Amino acid sequence: MIKFFKYLFAISMLVACISDAQSLKPNQAVATITASATVEGNVDVIVMKDLEFEITSLSPTELIVDPQKNPFSGEIKIVGNPNSLVRVTNERESILRHENGQLQLYFRYILSGNTSEVQRESVLLTQNNEVRLSDRGAYYLWVGGQLSGLENIIPGNYGMELTIEVEYIL
C-alpha cells in the first residue's frame, strides 16, 4: 500500500511538472502594423442640360454664350470621390453643322466650373484644367462659347457634340 502511494506521488509530481512547463512561455513581444489603401471609384460625367441658343436674323455676325451668366449654357456634373483632384480636358472648338450639311459654323468653347451648382460664381477654365471635387464629390461645368461666321447663315437646325475627358490625377 505504501508503494502504491509512492507511485501515486511520483505520478502527481510528474504531471505537475509537465503542466507547469506548458503554462510558461519564453519572453515574447508582439507588434502590429497596418497596411492600407484607399481605392477610388469611377468618375462619372452627367449631362444636366444641353447647350441651346437661338440665332435670329437680327443677331450680329458673332455670338457669344457666356458660361458664367448665360442661362442657355450647357451644364455638366462630374461625380467622383470627395475632395479628389481630376483633370478636365476638352476640345477647343467644334464644327456646328447644318441639318442638311450645307453649312458649317465654327464654335469655340468656353467652360466655367464650380464645386457648387451656382453658375454665377463659377470660374473660367482653360483647355486642361485640374479641379478638385467638392467634399460631396461633385463639380459642375457650364459650357458656353463663341460662334462666328454668321454672315452667311441659313435657317435651320445646327448640331454638334462636345467631348470632355475627366480623369483622376495620379
Residues 100-139, mask of contacts with another protein (x by CB under 8 A): ----------------------------------------
Radius of gyration of the chain (CA): 36
57 binding another protein? (CB under 8 A): no
CB contact set of 83 (below 8 Å; sequence gap of 6+): 132, 133, 134, 135, 137
Cβ 29 to another protein shortest distance, Å: 4
Only segment of 38-46, 48-56, 60-68, 144-152 that touches another protein (CB under 8 A): 38-46
Count other Cβ atoms within 10 Å, centred on residue 60: 9
Query: In terms of CB distance, is 82 or 159 closer to another protein?
Result: 82
Q: Is 41 in the site for another protein (CB under 8 A)?
A: yes
**Residue 20 three-state SS:** helix
Pair 47, 83: CB distance under 8 Å:
no
Per DSSP, what are the bridge partners of residue 159?
97
Catalog residues that contact another protein under the rule CB under 8 A.
Answer: 1, 3-4, 7-8, 10-11, 14-15, 17-18, 21-22, 24-42, 81, 84-85, 168-170
